[in-house]
Structure 1
Amino acid sequence: MTPSRRRRAEDCLQDIWRARGPISTLLTPLSWIYGRLSARRMARQAAHAWRAPVPVVVIGNILVGGTGKTPVTAALCHFLQARGWRPGILSRGYGSRVGPAPRLSDQAGDSAHLGDEPALLHAITGAPVAVHPRRPLAAAALLQAHPDIDVLIADDGLQHTALARDVEIIVQDARGVGNGRLLPAGPLREPPDRRLRADWLITQLGPAEALPSAVPVDTEGRPRQLSLRLQPDFLTHLASGQRQDWAAWCAAQGQTPCSAAAGIGQPQRFFAMLQQAGLTLKQTLCSPDHQAPSLDALRALPPGPILITAKDAIKYPPPHDPRIWTVHAAPVFSDPAWLDALETRLRTR
């Protein structure tokens, strides 16, 4: 399947999952089977879960598609590093052929070795990273290679219950739970009430998006709920590595019509962020999640700067088109104090 057809297929599924229409209803029996098998697998893993000798924070989602786990993981890692912690990051390593043994960032930090998101997290945080579908294997390998690590952050590990965790963070977006049905009738990996068991529920919102309905809290006040919005922070010129603050770049080139390209779960959110920041986008280009737009497709874009995501930039080998700039976005949380509360939780554990 070509990237454009795959992207259209992904968008078509998202349309089906917005409501409980006839196609979704037809698929509901399959979602019952999926739910039973998934719950059985997670219960079996949890019964023999491996507990690391350091605290473990799991950041994940129950919703299919890009919800914003990577910026949350990076923000938490930066915060803990600033407070004197020495975090390590675990990931599945989507996009790399891991094999039987975990792969470590000590060996190589590129996306071919680690996968796009782990490579990006390693590049922007400097934290050691280990990837493997079996999170306990990745955790044990990372701790053996870096015995000074005192906290593990598992990116996209919510359904991997073989690794015991001390803190759970669920990240969602404005879709909420979609039509509320499990795969393949809906967009959910777990039932909607799974969010009640998380410690924090973070909702990423685009410029014009509103919060979905609030989730009830339990007697202990869980989950604590907040939102985040991404805003452009700085850019790097892909060919030269030159870095410019967002304001300086906009003053120099922001009046020129630009193009933007993204191979992420929710590309329209990236484009809307750029437009909200004052840019005029002449053309946009979308690819499936984890699949950066091809270099030929980028070259075919109209004259002018081309803005891409950091997740895509890490996949492109040199030489680079001199028109390409990588946008690095920073999360703005509705309640920045949640990070202090999380650190307190880690210290008590």
Structure 2
Amino acid sequence: MNLAERWSQAAYQGSRWLVPLRPLAAVYRQIIARRAHAYAVGRKPVWRAPVPVIVVGNITLGGTGKSPLVAWLGRWLVEQGYKPGIVSRGYGGKAPTYPLEVTPDTCASHSGDEPLMLAQQTGLPVVVDPQRARGAEYLVASGCTIIISDDGLQHLALGRDIELVVIDGARGLGNGQCLPAGPLREPAKRLAYVDKVIINGSESGAGHSKINDALEASTPPVKMSLAPSAWRRLSDGKRLPLSPLPFELPVHGLAGIGHPQRFFSTLEALGIEGSWHPLGDHHRFSAADFAFDDPRPVVITAKDAVKCHDVAGPETWVLEVEALLPADFEHWLAARLLSIT
């Protein structure tokens, strides 16, 4: 376990060795508060789109399930008659020029893994730009009638009409401390000011009491789950149902996402047996990652799949998942959009 992994484990499990970092966390809170105030009073410019903007983000480091929610939103908005576009920072990628219009064939090293996955899954316009406001403006000029900002909660230069925050059900807010003493990008009280808090998966652990404290007078969080939907063979894109299994057990499971254990737990719930290999978030895959001493099939996430075509073996399978949200959330979102359009 490297230092980053030890820190993440300590931040989410409440280990005491992070306590000496709390004075630095206080400085961090002051910096982000001053930054937010500068945008609020106009010292820093905010670009407001002529169409609704929905921001999907989180206040914690690590994966929470934002991308499946973004994909769900894109499909749902199309059903409602909108022409959605997705703007992303493109973390892990570096494009020759920005804004970068992402297609299913874009190189992941240019776009980053999540934007490429969203372009492939949704077929919607996806644009990557470190300046999200510029990327959103590009989408509007291209004819989009609503913008979804992927992981843009802290990008205050882009005005927004709806803020949705996703929290991992298994880890919650961890020890409730801001960086570097804990996993929070913003203090927990930020949750009281967003439009909806969405909990991905079953809640467990002490980190959830901090969510409830932050929300107190607000509406209760929305429950979201990620449901496996199909197997996809990476080599040729062939999709097969979850059952019967299209490969033999046991397998090797690889995950270069923010919370690999969530993926491994999903595999176990499907009755998949094997050896699990957690990797760092946005891991750069190479052939060495697939060089095992046995011929077992390999199972990976959809997010990782976009980077593995050229390095994975022929028996590599992708588990596709879809976000499931309650009807009450759909009704709320439809009404909220009507109120701002």
1:33 aligns with 2:23: no
Q: How does 1:219-298 map to 2 (within 5 A)?
A: 222-248=218-244, 250=245, 252-253=246-247, 256-281=249-274, 283-298=275-290
Q: Shift of residue 20 of structure 1?
A: 5.1
Q: Shift of residue 127 of structure 1?
A: 0.9
Alignment equivalent of 2:147, drawn from 152, 155, 180: 152
Q: Quick one: distance in 2 between partners of 1:108 and 1:328?
A: 19
Task: Identify the residue that residue 198 of structure 1 maps to in structure 2.
Answer: 194
- State which drifts further: 261-270 or 298-307: 298-307
Q: Quick one: distance in 1 between partners of 2:122 and 2:109?
A: 18
Alignment equivalent of 1:162, drawn from 154, 157, 161: 157
TM-score normalised by length of structure 1 = 0.88
Q: How does 1:50-89 map to 2 (within 5 A)?
A: 50-89=47-86
Q: Secondary structure at the match of 1:233?
A: strand
Q: Quick one: distance in 2 between partners of 1:164 and 1:224?
A: 25
1:343 aligns with 2:334: yes
Paired amino acid for 1:103: L
Q: Quick one: distance in 1 between partners of 2:98 and 2:316?
A: 36
- Decide whether the 8 Å contact of 1:92 with 1:133 is kept in 2: yes
Task: Identify the residue that residue 328 of structure 1 maps to in structure 2.
Answer: 320
Change (3 A) 1:192 1:99: farther
TM-score normalised by length of structure 2 = 0.90
C-alpha deviations, 1:201-242, integer Å up to 9, x for none? Answer: 111126x957923526879x7445122222211111111221
Q: Quick one: distance in 2 between partners of 1:100 and 1:239?
A: 30
Q: Quick one: distance in 2 between partners of 1:320 and 1:182?
A: 38
Q: Secondary structure at the match of 1:169?
A: strand
Q: Secondary structure at the match of 1:260?
A: strand
- Decide whether the 8 Å contact of 1:262 with 1:287 is kept in 2: yes
- Decide whether the 8 Å contact of 1:262 with 1:292 is kept in 2: no
- Decide whether the 8 Å contact of 1:178 with 1:187 is kept in 2: yes
Q: Shift of residue 164 of structure 1?
A: 1.0
1:23 aligns with 2:14: no
Q: Secondary structure at the match of 1:346?
A: helix
C-alpha deviations, 1:139-180, integer Å up to 9, x for none? Answer: 112222x12x11100010001111111100011113222111
Q: Secondary structure at the match of 1:50?
A: coil
Percent same amino acid at aligned positions? 36
Paired amino acid for 1:258: V
Change (3 A) 1:40 1:108: farther
Unmatched segments (≥5 aa) in structure 2: none
- Decide whether the 8 Å contact of 2:190 with 2:214 is kept in 1: no
Q: Secondary structure at the match of 2:232?
A: strand
Change (3 A) 1:181 1:291: same
Change (3 A) 1:121 1:192: same
Aligned length: 334
- Decide whether the 8 Å contact of 2:82 with 2:146 is kept in 1: yes
Paired amino acid for 1:199: D
